[in-house]
Every structure is written in C-alpha cells, then in structure tokens.
Structure 1
Amino acid sequence: MGSSFGSINTALTSLYAQRRGLDVTGQNIANANTEGYTRQRVDMQASVGSVVPVRWATTDGLGTGVEINDVQRLRDQYLENRGRTEHGNNSYLTNQAAAYNSLEDVFAEPGDTALQAQIHDMWAAWGDVGDEPNSTAARSALVQQSKVVSDNINSAYGAMDAQWSANSSQLTKYATEVNTTAGTIAQLNDSIVKAKATGVVVNELEDRRDSAVLHLSELTGATAQLRKNGSMDVFVGNSLLVNYNTTRQMSATGGVATMDAQRDYNDGLLPPGSKPAGLTWTDNGDTVQAGGTMGSMVDTMTSILPDMAAKLDKVAKSMVDIVNTATNAAYKSDGTAGGDFFVGDFTTGRYARNMRVGITNPSDIAVSGKNETNADGTPKLDPVSGLPVGTNDGSVANTLASTAKLPTSPDVSYQSMIADLGVNAQTATRRSEIQANVTDQVDAAREAESGVNLDEEMTNLLTYQRGYEAASRVLTTIDSMLDQLINRTGLVGR
C-alpha cells in the first residue's frame, strides 16, 4: 500500500501543474495582440505508480499525481502550408494589378490631355494647314501640336523605362532581404533542434520561424516542409533555399540591365548565353523560379513592360512613316522638295523613345502636292530666287488630316493598345480582389486555430486557479493528518 507521505507528493505535483497552466495562460493573454504568436496549451497527464507486477511490490496501483507532458503549440500544419501558398499568390496578383495600374496612370486614357486626344488635335492641325496653306499661324500651331504628341510619346516610353528600372532596383533589395531572412531561419532551425534535443520548449522560436517563412512566401512564393528533428526546409520553386542550418544565396544581377536590352533579348538580338532580367542562384547561376512579389516583378520586367513599349513603338513608327512619307513626296511653299517632318535615331527601332519634330521654321512644312509647270512641262521658276514655284495647294496636309479614319492609322493601333491594357488591368485587379478574399478566409481559419481567444483564456485562468486552490487544500488536509499521526499518536494513558 502507498505511503502516507506519498499523498504530499501527489498534491505537490498538482500545485506544480496548475501553476504551469497559469503561467502558460498568462503568456497567451500577454501576447493576445502579438502578430505571429500561436496560443499554447498545457498537456497534463496522470502520473502512475508501478504498472509491472513485482513479487515484493508494495504499491496499490493508484496514481501518484499529475505531470506536464508538453506545452502544445496549437497550429494546424495543413492550414499553415495553405496560408503560405495563398499569401504567395496574393502577393503576386497584387503586384501585377499595381503594375497595370501604373501603366494606366502613364497613359491616363481617356482624357482631354491624354495622348489619344493630342493625336486627334494633331491631325486637326494638319487639316487647318490644308485649309490655309499660307497661314503662318496654322503652320506654327501644327508644329507645336506635333511637338506635344512626340513629347507625350517620349514621356510615356520614359515612364515605362523608369518603372522597369525601379523594379530592377527593388528586386535587388528584395534579393538581399530574402538572403537575410533565409539566414535567420537557418539559425532558428539550429536553435530549435538543439533545444528540443534537451527537452526545452521552443514554441516562441517556432513562431518566429513561421513568421519568417510566411514573409518569404509573400516575397518569393516559398513553401516549407518540417523534418522529424524539428527543423524546417524552405523551397523556392523546386530548389532548396534553407536546408536545416545551411542556406543558398540568390541574386538579382547578371541579366540585362535596361528595358531596351530586355526587348532585344526577347527579340533574340543579344549574343548567345545572355540572360534576361530576373533572379539567379549565386552558386550555379541557374534561374530562380520565384513566385510572390518578386516573381510578379520579374514577369513585369520581362513581359508586361517590354510588350507595352513595343506596342508604343509600333504606334510611333506608324505615325513617323505616314507623315514622313507624305512630306517627303510634297513640296514646300517655295517650291523645293520636302523632307522628314519627324526625325530621330530610328536605327534601333526605338521610335517612341527618339522621335521628335524636325521642323523649326513653319514655312519648311511641305504640304503642296505638286509644283507649277510651264507649257512645255518644265518647272516654273521664280524670277527672283530662281527656285521652282509651288502650287501650295495644301493637298498633302488635307490627306494627312484624314489619316485617323484609315484602318492602318496609328490611332487604330493606339486604341487597340489602350483597349488591351484596360482589359489586362481589369482582369488583374479582379483576380487580385478574388485572391485577397481567399487569403482572408484562410487567415481567418488559421486565426481560429492558433489565435488567442481572451474569453477562453479567462475560463482557463479560473480553471487553473481553482485547481491550484484545491491542491493547496489537499496539501493542508494531509499536513493536518500527519500532525495528528506524528504528534498525537501514542499519548493515551500517559
């Protein structure tokens, strides 16, 4: 049978257990508003005496109190993995929507001061010159309006180039942040494995690690897998980023450095072995297949911005070719042959970046369809200057004024470009909104599982308090019994 003094130990184990429960509950309450904190719960189990029959055993088989089996961290690993996936998808789509919204801000269509309206005004200015070919005011207005159009096209291309460069700079900073975070996870892995081997509770360290992994998921679409020893491997794409306490480094350098170079890469114009903008592993130079914010930035730099720049170049080239072809075949007011109206370095095909109005003197605009001729068909010469005399009929200007109505006009190309941009932007925004709702739902499920509920914690607080008080009462009762046994037994008859 059990010893009388054994009951003291039974009550004492309860005091220890209830106090531990109070400590853990207090920790939960203290961190109710701490981001990334996971609520904890004390796992108690009954202590037992000898359960194996022994010949000379004196135990009666009753338990010997309570013991703390573990302090559990209440997280659902499935929900955590799902949360990382959804956060990565949400970050990707959010960045995509932001990229398209920035492009919409560049063109600001529709609007009275947007490029479409300015191109319309330019064709109207050609019509004014056609109606009054000798009007210096009309010619000056045409030059100014054409400069507005070319400047706006230059500005739009420059804005996309600046957006590309901003993405490139930010991608480099994010790569450094990923490398730093991966190093933190590796250090936490090492601490967690060593602490668990000695039986130390590491719930707070695991919270910090999960928060770091979630941050990597948002940046790169990273996924994670737990090992039996408590460490966590982190993957980006199908490649290991963190393996226990070792990490791989990634870099955003080594590829093309400008948007124009990226366009040349897309068109196959760069030397073999050239690499596009993006992320690479520093140990072997392989491309990092990232998702999340960084994956979206790479897609923006390699696809969205270069494609929009190419479409704008198509619009600018169409405008330059149509106007210059007409003015080169026309004659100036003094009867001399016309020349290019738009000029620039077009050898690289970058019309939108380089086009500008080459006319400085309004009288140099060639709008006449033909020169006056003598009866024998020879050009009629001005008796003073000796130059051919032009009819100055403005027919070329009138022809250019009707360009907007042609199916091959730059207006049609520009409208198609803006329509595609609007559709893509709207699609990206809707997908982002839907994904945000999905992410919120998953986060709500994660919070329900691992978040601190103050009402529940107050209930636990009272439960452990009452348990502690009851264990104290048991200990007091046993003390009174032992006092009776030790100090009062055997006094009768003395």
Structure 2
Amino acid sequence: MSLTSALGSALSGLKANQAGLDVVAGNVANASTPGYVRKSTSPVASVAGGATTGVRTTEVKREIDLQLQKQLRTETAGASYASTRAAFLEQLQSLFGTPGAESSLDAQVSDLSTAIDALAASPDDQSARAGVLQQAGLLAQQLNAATTDVQALRASADQGLKDGVDAANEALTSIETITRAIVQAQARGGSTADLEDQRDMAVNTLSGLMDVKVESLAGGDIRIKTQGGLTLYDNGASTLSVTGGGAPVTAGSAYASDPSRSTLGTVTLTSPSGYATDLLANNALRSGELKAYAELRDETLPQAQTQLDELASQLALAFGATTTTGEAVTGGVALDVAGAQPGDRMTLAYTSGGVAGAATIVNVTDPSRLPLSGGLIGVDFSSPTAAADIEAALQAAGAAVTVTATDDGFAFTSGAADVTVTGATSRVTATGLSDGSVALPLFVDGAGGAIYSESLDGGAQRTGFAGRITVNPDLIADPSALVKTSADAAAGDQTRVDFLKDALSGDRTFSGDAGLRGSSAPFTGTLSEFAQGIISTQASASASATRVADGQSLVVSSLEDRFSAASGVDVDEEMTKLIQYQTAYSANARVMTTVNDMLKQLLNIL
C-alpha cells in the first residue's frame, strides 16, 4: 500500500469514527428525551479495483421494533379509553355515595319513611307533619343536586370530545408537515431519523385519542387509517370537526344519528377530497379518548340520569296516584279512569289461544306524540273515539278484545271464543290535596307545582324530572293535608297516612331502561331498595372500570418497558461504544501521524 493510500484510509477511518462518535453523543444527550429512538451507524469497507481503499459509514438508522410499536399504539388507545371511563365513573359513584351512608339516596328515602312512621303514630302532631315535609324536601334537593352533577359530567365529556378533536387535528397537521419533510429529505439522500422520531410522537398522540393503524409507504411516506378502515392521512391529513350541538347540556339533551333529532354534536371526519363521515353515527370509533367521551356523554351518564329520573318518578307516583283493580263484568273487566291525567294508564291482561298477553294503554292528548313506541298504546281517554281506537290497537296487536266506553272509563270483554280477559288495573293521578282521594301529590314538577303524572304530551315528563322534583308548595302552605283527605275529615284520620306509609314500603315495578336488571326483567322492589340498587350498580360499574383501567395500564407499562429495551438508549452500552470509537479514532490518528512523518523524511532525502 502506498503512503497516500494509507493516508486516505486513515482519513476515511477518522471520518467514520467521528460520525460514530456524533451518533453516540446524540444518543447519550437524548437518553431521557420522550419519543427518542436509539440511532446507529455501521462502517462498511470502501472498495476500488478489487482493493480496499478505506471505510465509509452507512446512513444513520433508528433501532426500532416496528411490530412492538404497533402493538403499543393499539394498547395505548385501549388504555386511554379505559382510564377516561374509570375517572368519570369514579366521580359518578362519589355523587351517589355508598349504601346506608348519611347523605346517600337510600338513606334519604329511609329517613322519609321514618318521618312518615312518626306521622302515622301521631297524625295530628304538627311537628310530625313538618318532619315529613322536611325530609321530603331534603330528598328532592338530593335528587336535584345529583341531576346537576350528572349533567355537569356530561358537559365535561362533551368538552373533552371537542378538546380531543382539536388535539387530533393538531397531531394530523404535524404528521402532514413532518412527512413532507421526510419525503423531501429522503429524495435528497439526507438522514430522516430525527424527523421520523418527531412523526412517531405525533402518531402516538393520535393513537391515544382514537384507534389507528399505520402503513409505511415508499420514499418515507405513510398512510394512517382507523381500525375500521377510515383514512386519517394519505398524502394529506383529513380533518375532524364537532358539528351540531352547541347548546348547554341538560337532562333533555341527546345524541341521535339523525341530525334533525340530535341536540348534541357529533364528530365528522372530512377527507382532503371533501368526503365527510359521521364517526358517531357509523360507530367508527372503537377505542381511545374520543370513544370514551362519546360513550360517557351519550350512553353511560344518560343512563345514570334515567335511574335518578325513575326514582323521582316512582316517588311522585307512589304518593300521588292510586292503582285500582278492575271490576268484573260479564265476559271481562271494567276500569274506572275518571279524572285521568296525561300519562295515566290502564293495564290489561288476557289470554289468546291459551297464550298469556298484556297491553298498556296510556292517556295521550298530544296527537303529535302518536304512535307510541315500546309496545305502548297511546289514546286520548277523553276522545269520543277512544274505545274504538283502543280496540283497533288491541286487534292490531293480535288481541281480539272488545272495548266499550262506560260512564267513568272503559269495559274490556272477550271478542273471540279463544280470548279471555283475565284482569285489568288503572292508575289515576290525584290533582288536589283534599278532594277525597287518599293519593296526595306530595312531589310536583317544578317550583310552579305542576302535577307529575308521567305525561308523554310534548315530550316525556320523566326526562330530567329528578332535577325538577320539589315538594308541593300548596302542601307546605297547608301541612294538614298530609292527613286530611277532605276539608271535613278528622284531624287524626289514619286513612291517608296509612296510604303514604304503604307507598314507601310496598313493592313497585321500575322501568327496565334504568338498567338495573335489563328491560326483559325490570327491577321490582321498594323505593328504598331501588335507591340501593342504583348506588350498588354505580359502585360496581366504577370498580369494574377501575380494574380494567389498571389492567390496561399494566399492559401498556410492560410494552413500554419492552419498547424502551429494544429502542431506547442504554447509557452504559453507549459509553462502551464511545470508548471503542475513541480508540479507533486514536489509532487512525496515529497512522496519519506516522505517514506524515514518513513523507517528511522522504522529502528531506529528495
């Protein structure tokens, strides 16, 4: 080898070792930088004419396990979904308290029962009457406050959805900007390792918000889709937006896939070409924070509100309505529904062809609400055609029952040889304090004192009722009505007090949409037991969500450790490489010094 060749080889060695030192220094400096992936470079021999002429370095590359990275992103979306749900459900559970706690719903119901027991023992005791009204007021206030808090959580979830959309757009914009820089740099033959780290950080942010999968393309480009196949980035970023909604979140606010019926915003994905997709209507979000926020706002928290509304509804109806068993008539049953309010109902039991059946007929005076859903028959009881309308609806449901109008209601009789009317009941709401009825509108709808009858006119009266329930102001003005069914009733009459007492202690059937046992097996029990069921259900849901979140967190933590071991910086390992590069650098420097000395000697000889 000539001296010039040796000098060239040593110089290339110096450059290669200097490049290696730079990479090692960068690794050590960024050992604690979030998202930084360990870099490396490998020396390869330079060959010319079959002879080695020196050494050169390959491009700086990232030491990354792509399969592990993919798995980590998938689990990150799951962890974000689980942790978001767990945080909200923990807050929700704290609102409801624990069974038997002093401020819990079941304790408030129990306290009201105790106050009514005291009134039953001394009906003419003014302090006992005041005690009932005080406890009723405290229970109403508890339901009002719980409704306010639940809707505040829904508003928080709605805001979280909006903030998440903004964060996703920011991440997608960063991905677009960085990807273009990567494509341009690779076209020039430049290193893109640091840019790829930055892009991975943006993708990781996006993966916490929604489920994503990333495809690597030629030239440093990528394609990002949701797990369901919707494109988020492909030679340009799609845009997310919250469309619709905007009004304050209330108990009556609801999301619907039909924009004309929805009062809450949805998440729309718009591609660079202008194609728009409703992610909520198409159930396109499978995981991540956005999925959790939408589910909490539109499903989980509304059901909690439904539970509160059902408790408030049954409280008002337990005291304020009477249920009467039908009177037997030839071939069937007659029901008295005199004074029925919108929402009051009749329940009919029959057999047809040996198969038991049932029908519920609801008093609906608002034609725009008809027909009703859920198998209910909606009819205006005061309409001249009510009997014919009920009969037609029963016939359409496969029940050959004849319906005729009576002075006070309707008679239901067999309309076919294989049909038997086996029973019927009616529920009628009282409107006055002393009209002779034992029922008492102890709780009313709002400060104005509107009668609560579970009306469906103009919308479901039950919706949000827990936030409006209050003690009847007329009763506060005249506490004697807690006992006296009429103006001339004795001050110590037990009839109404016994009714109030039985209302709390008796079993009731609660609506299946409260979610305690499912619509196929509605909860049956006392008001106190239903309140306990609500609390237990929320506590169980919170505990389950916390366990899932903790488990998902452990999975992500384990994957992060594995990813860090595979792609992170081990300072000790880097320091070993540093020593190796320094030693090689010194060796190449000595070669250059030696060659330089030899050249000087040759020049002196010449």
Match of 2:52 in 1: 63
Kept after mapping to 1: 8 A contact 2:106/2:528: yes
Task: Write out aligned runs for 1:82-481 (5 A).
Answer: 82-110=71-99, 111-236=101-226, 237-244=228-235, 246-255=236-245, 257=247, 258-263=249-254, 265=256, 274=262, 277-282=265-270, 283-288=274-279, 289-290=284-285, 291-325=287-321, 328=430, 339-344=440-445, 346=452, 347=455, 348-350=461-463, 351-358=465-472, 359-368=475-484, 388-390=488-490, 392-408=492-508, 409-481=526-598
**CA offset at residue 262 of structure 1?**
4.6
**CA offset at residue 155 of structure 1?**
1.0
Deviations 1:461-484 (A, max 9, x none): 110000000001111222233334
Query: Secondary structure of the residue that 1:46 maps to in structure 2?
Result: strand
Instruction: Report the residue type matching 1:234 in the other structure.
Output: I
Instruction: Report the residue type matching 1:27 in the other structure.
Output: G
Kept after mapping to 2: 8 A contact 1:47/1:67: yes
Match of 2:29 in 1: 30
State the distance in 2 between where 1:336 and 1:212 align.
Answer: 68
Deviations 1:314-355 (A, max 9, x none): 1111110011126949975x9898752111155432321221
Query: Secondary structure of the residue that 2:19 maps to in structure 1?
Result: helix
Kept after mapping to 2: 8 A contact 1:92/1:296: yes
State the distance in 2 between where 1:337 and 1:208 align.
Answer: 74
Query: Secondary structure of the residue that 1:5 maps to in structure 2?
Result: helix
Identity of aligned residues (%): 28
Deviations 1:260-291 (A, max 9, x none): 4454849xxx8866486541124444222232
Count of residue pairs brought into register by the alignment: 457
Query: Secondary structure of the residue that 2:220 maps to in structure 1?
Result: coil
State the distance in 2 between where 1:275 and 1:197 align.
Answer: 50
State the distance in 1 between where 2:507 and 2:439 align.
Answer: 26
Kept after mapping to 2: 8 A contact 1:123/1:402: no
Match of 1:381 in 2: none
Instruction: Report the residue type matching 1:308 in the other structure.
Output: A
Query: Secondary structure of the residue that 1:365 maps to in structure 2?
Result: helix
Kept after mapping to 1: 8 A contact 2:430/2:437: no
Match of 1:382 in 2: none
168-177 vs 316-325, which moves further: 168-177
359-368 vs 229-238, which moves further: 359-368
Structure-2 change in CA distance of 1:25 and 1:301 (3 Å)? same
Query: Secondary structure of the residue that 2:59 maps to in structure 1?
Result: strand
207-216 vs 337-346, which moves further: 337-346
Instruction: Report the residue type matching 2:91 in the other structure.
Output: S
Instruction: Report the residue type matching 1:436 in the other structure.
Output: S
Structure-2 change in CA distance of 1:230 and 1:265 (3 Å)? closer
State the distance in 2 between where 1:264 and 1:131 align.
Answer: 49
State the distance in 1 between where 2:117 and 2:432 align.
Answer: 15
Kept after mapping to 2: 8 A contact 1:132/1:138: yes
Structure-2 change in CA distance of 1:279 and 1:361 (3 Å)? same
**CA offset at residue 419 of structure 1?**
2.2
Bigger fraction of residues in strand: 2
Gaps of 5+ in 1: 51-60, 372-386, 490-494
Structure-2 change in CA distance of 1:479 and 1:149 (3 Å)? same
Match of 1:40 in 2: 39
RMSD: 2.5
Instruction: Report the residue type matching 2:467 in the other structure.
Output: R
State the distance in 2 between where 1:389 and 1:276 align.
Answer: 52
Query: Secondary structure of the residue that 1:64 maps to in structure 2?
Result: strand
With normalisation by structure 1, the TM-score equals 0.86
Kept after mapping to 1: 8 A contact 2:186/2:192: yes
With normalisation by structure 2, the TM-score equals 0.71
Kept after mapping to 2: 8 A contact 1:76/1:449: yes
Kept after mapping to 1: 8 A contact 2:254/2:263: no
Deviations 1:148-195 (A, max 9, x none): 001111111111111111111221122122112211110000001101
Deviations 1:119-146 (A, max 9, x none): 1000111111111111111111111110
Rg comparison, structure with higher value: 1
